[in-house]
Chains A and B, each alone.
Chain A
Amino acid sequence: MRSKHVKMKYLISLCFLSLTLGTAGVADARCAFVGGSTGSIAFNIIDPSASPGPVLGTVTTQVNFTCNNNRAFTVTAAPASGWTLISGANSMPYTLGFIASGLGQGNATPIALLTNTSQIIMSNYQNAAGGAYTNSQAVTLTINCPTCTAPRTITATIPLGNVSGTVINTCAVTQAAGTLTFTMDPSVSGTTTAVISPDLKIKCTKNDPISITSSSTCGGASPKMGLGGCGGFLIPYTFTTNPSPGTTGLGFGAGTDITLGIGGSASSVNYANAPVGSYSDIETVTITY
Chain B
Amino acid sequence: MKRILLVAVTAIIICVMAGSAPAASPSGFSTTTISLNAQVNTACQEAQHGTFPNPITIDTLAVSDQIFSPTVDETVKCTNGTLFTIKVSSANGAALNQTCTSGGVSAMALKSAGTPADTIAYTFMCAGDTDGAGNFTGAGFATAKALGISVKVLTANAQAAVAHADYSDTVTLTISY
Binding site for B on A (CB under 8 A): 40, 42, 60-61, 130-134, 162, 164-173, 176-177, 179-188, 194, 196, 200, 205, 208, 225, 227, 235, 237, 262, 264, 266, 268, 271-289
Partner of A276, one of B19, B22, B35, B41: B41
* Contact B32 A186, beta carbon cutoff 8 Å: no
**Which one of B73-81, B153-161, B166-174 contacts A?**
B73-81
Contact partner, B41, options A60, A184, A288, Cβ 8 Å:
A184
Instruction: Assess A279 versus B21: contact at CB under 8 Å? Given A284-B31, A287-B30.
Output: no
Interfacial chain A residues near B80, Cβ < 8 Å: 186, 273-276
Q: Is the CB of A283 within 8 A of B36?
A: yes
20 contacts between A and B (CB under 8 A): A168-B26, A169-B27, A170-B28, A177-B32, A181-B37, A182-B37, A182-B39, A186-B79, A194-B38, A237-B38, A266-B38, A272-B142, A276-B79, A276-B81, A284-B31, A287-B32, A288-B27, A288-B28, A288-B29, A289-B30
- Complex contacts, A40 vs chain B, CB 8 Å: 16, 18
CB neighbours (8 Å) of B26 from chain A are 166, 168-169
Further pairs besides A170-B28, A173-B32, A274-B40: 13, Cβ < 8 Å? A40-B18, A60-B16, A131-B24, A164-B21, A166-B21, A176-B32, A183-B38, A186-B141, A187-B44, A273-B139, A276-B42, A281-B36, A282-B35
* A186 and B41 in contact, given A179-B35, A284-B33, A288-B27 (Cβ under 8 angstroms): yes
Residue B38 contacts which of A165, A181, A196, A287 (CB distance < 8 angstroms)? A181
**B residues at A contact (CB < 8 Å):** 16, 18-19, 21-45, 77, 79-82, 139-143
What is the chain A residue whose CB lies nearest that of B47?
A187
Chain B residues near A282 (CB, 8 Å)?
Answer: 33-36
- Majority secondary structure of chain B interface residues (helix, strand, loop or mixed): loop
A172, chain B: closest CB distance, angstroms:
7
Minimum C-beta distance from A118 to chain B (A): 16
B41 contacts A183, C-beta separation under 8 Å: yes
Which of A166, A177, A181, A279 interacts with B22 by CB under 8 Å? Answer: A166
Complex contact B29–A279 (CB within 8 A): no
Contact call A186/B27, Cβ cutoff below 8 A:
no
A-B pairs, 7 with minimum CB distance: A273-B140, A132-B21, A182-B38, A187-B43, A130-B25, A279-B38, A272-B141
With A60-B18, A284-B33 known as contacts, the answer to whether A273 contacts B143 (CB < 8 A) is yes
